[in-house]
Structure 1
Amino acid sequence: MIRNELFLRSAALTYYAIFSIFPITILISTIAGWILQDPIKQQAIVDALIGLMPQGTDLIIDLLQNVISTRAITSIIALLTLLWSATSFLRGLLSAIDLIHSREYTHSTFVMRGVGVLIIFLAVLALFALLFLTSVATQIAQAFSIPPQWRSALSILTSGLPIFLIASCAFFLMMRYIPGQRTPPRAALISAILTALAWMLLGYAFSWYLQSGLADFNVIYGSIGAVMALMLYLYLSNVIILFGAQLNASLADFETRATPYIPGLDDALRLLRLPLPETNDEEHPPNKPTIAP
């Protein structure tokens, strides 16, 4: 995918994300409510879900909380409608990752929507894991006497490290298994870690940007200023994910590409008793050994 098309596809994904974020939030919170009967634990899941949003988008956070508090899935038709709406963004994102690696679509739309439904259920498990890891990290931090000047940094670490680990795992699964041809694990791991790191840095930078007063979206866009800020954040997030997919495709291509023919290289490798690389130039067959083993 060329660079210009990557930015255009990120913009298209942002459009789908705006329409999918509320159904996804309702579905995840509802499924968590079905699993957890304790209202306190249900609220902890909701708080963890809301906590993934960047600070400074208070109006959007309040809107999400209102939507979650009034959630009601009363029929199978309502559930299927929410699933269809929620998977629109996921289908587009997964299709874009597939296209970056294969230069053409290798999975059908219904397969991508099915994978999107699976991702929603896995997101619930990821939230449970996030709460568990955050609780463990907090207890470990409290077991040591930390100076007051380091407590704020420690708080960011205990809350950010679990998110980074879960995001890295999620991106690794997408980079590894979504393309039609599986990429090497090392390439997928490197791309996933860098993508998760860039996405988290974006969240911190965007929160600082909104709280610093450099941009007042309410003055420019009025009552929809928070929505515009959310669209900008989603757009930048999509750009980071697609750039991560492009990096993954490049690393996978580099690892699987045959070594070019270099005159005299075979003799040097035989001298060092190293295995000969494959050659991708049929016009230059490997040199015959000239040095006795």
Structure 2
Amino acid sequence: MKKLTERLKAFFLNIYNGALRSREVRKLIIWSKRLKLPGFDRVPLYDVIVFFIKGIQKGAITNRAAALSFNFFLAIFPAIIFFFSLIPYIPIENFQDSLLNLLEDFIPNQAYAAVEDTLFDIVKRPRGNLLSIGFIMAMFFATNSITSLMEAFNQTYHSIESRSAFRQRLVAIGLVFLLSFLVIIAIALITFGPVVLNWLQTHNLLTDKLTLFMLSAGKWLITLALLFFAFSTLFYFGPSRNMKFRFISAGSTLTTLLFIAASVGFNFYVNNFAKYNSLYGSIGTLIIFMLWIYFNAIIILVGFELNASISVAGRERGTR
């Protein structure tokens, strides 16, 4: 096995050295050393790539993502119980049904089928005793997940945490409330948007089809902006302040795009190709859900590594 590993290393090293001798590759490297992309703080693309690759290789991304996804998984169900326990008390006609339809569109079909009855029971039947218990559990596990995210950020190859555990917990509580507020806004936009548009059409206040289409698409654009804002907030307040990032950053943009692409792609794969339920039975749903969380945890850490690489590369250039 050791000989095979050494041969593979030698093989890829030869390919790498051969590529460097290529005139086209040298031109590409020279070009990347001059290219400064928006959001890269005037740091050349080549420098960012060098630090980014180093951070991915030596930062144990997959191990950090595994720990992070476990804490996210623990936090999701208490949060769902708390928020959904509030829904039966909302006096809006068909709100509960609209929310269930939204979740059905977003969650992979096999995963939604496993939790559909539970969600329906929580959403349709008021249970006051779940509110207090759900709030305590949701806050405890949600702050644990945000704290785990901070630790994952600061275990990067480029930085270490310098905050106390108490201060870290306070920041986590603040981020939990802020992110919860963003989630509520996004759900309200997606749920009430069609209701408002239908009311405008019914009262002949909105008749132009182009305007109707733009308003319908607008709710998704606003939701996308909220997602971007959520990632920007995590990247700005989550890590140690020894490493300063812009609030609107390249890492936030990359994470938002990859998050959407991964969610859509994973949903398509599960619904059309994967057969987890036939192989593993009902536990296959949990496997699907945990894989989705794990992939998105990797995406969040990759976006953070990009921000860290830009920051460190800029600092290194400043000391030369």
Which residue, out of 112, 115, 128, partners 1:58?
112
CA RMSD of aligned residues (A): 3.8
Note if 1:9 corresponds to 2:82: no
- TM-superposed deviation, 1:76: 5.8
Does residue 184 of structure 1 match 2:245? yes
More divergent stretch after superposition (85-94 vs 198-207): 85-94
Aligned to 1:111: 167
What displacement does 1:246 show?
0.3
* Deviation by residue 1:122-158 (Cα, 9 ceiling, x = unmatched): 2342134224544569849975426xxxx8x997x45
Deviation, 1:208, is 0.8
Contact 1:54 1:204 in 2 (8 A): no
> CA deviation digits over 1:247-279, x for unaligned, max 9?
0101122333335xxxxxxxxxxxxxxxxxxxx
Stretches of structure 1 lacking an aligned partner (at least 5 in a row): 260-279, 282-293
Tell me, in whole angstroms, the C-alpha distance in 2 between the residues paired with 1:98 and 1:48. 38
Partner of 1:196: 256
Counterparts of 1:55 and 1:129 in 2: how far apart (Å)?
Answer: 23
Identity of aligned residues (%): 22
Q: Would you tell me which structure has more helix in proportion to its own residues?
A: 2
Matched letter for residue 14 of structure 1: S
Aligned residues: 253
- Superposed CA offset, 1:49-91 (max 9, x none): 8368433222344166157436554686764344212322222
Residues 1-293 of structure 1 mapped to structure 2, 5 A cutoff = 2-3=56-57, 5-30=60-85, 37-40=90-93, 43=96, 46-47=99-100, 50=103, 53-56=106-109, 57-62=111-116, 65-66=119-120, 68-69=122-123, 72-73=128-129, 79-100=135-156, 103-131=159-187, 133-134=189-190, 139=197, 144-145=208-209, 157-158=217-218, 160-181=220-241, 182-185=243-246, 188-212=248-272, 214-259=273-318, 280-281=319-320
Contact 2:228–2:252 (CA under 8 A) maintained in structure 1:
yes
Change (3 A) 1:185 1:60: farther
TM-score, scaled relative to structure 2: 0.65
* 8 Å Cα contact 1:17/1:89 also seen in 2: yes
Query: Looking at both structures, which has the greater relative contact order when contacts are Cα pairs under 8 Å and sequence separation is at least 6?
Result: 2
| Other-structure match for 1:271 | none
Q: Deviations over 1:162-206 (max 9, x none)?
A: 3311111011111122222252327x5221121111101111111
Does the CA contact (< 8 Å) of 2:156 and 2:305 recur in 1? yes
Name stretches of at least 5 consecutive residues in structure 2 with no aligned partner. Answer: 1-54
Query: Secondary structure at 2:282's aligned position in 1?
Result: helix
Q: CA deviation at 1:6?
A: 1.0
Distance 1:60 1:94, change over 3 A: farther
SS at match of 1:107: coil
Q: CA deviation at 1:93?
A: 1.3
* 1:76-115 C-alpha deviation (Å, 9 max, x unpaired): 6764344212322222112212332863222344433333
Distance across 2 between alignment mates of 1:161 and 1:91: 29
Change over 3 Å in CA distance of 1:51–1:161 after alignment to 2: farther
Tell me how far 1:225 sits from its aligned partner.
0.9
CA distance in 2, matches of 1:159, 1:204: 18
Cα deviation, 1:199-226, whole Å, max 9, x if unaligned, reads: 01111111111221x1111012111111
State the 1:242 CA deviation.
0.4
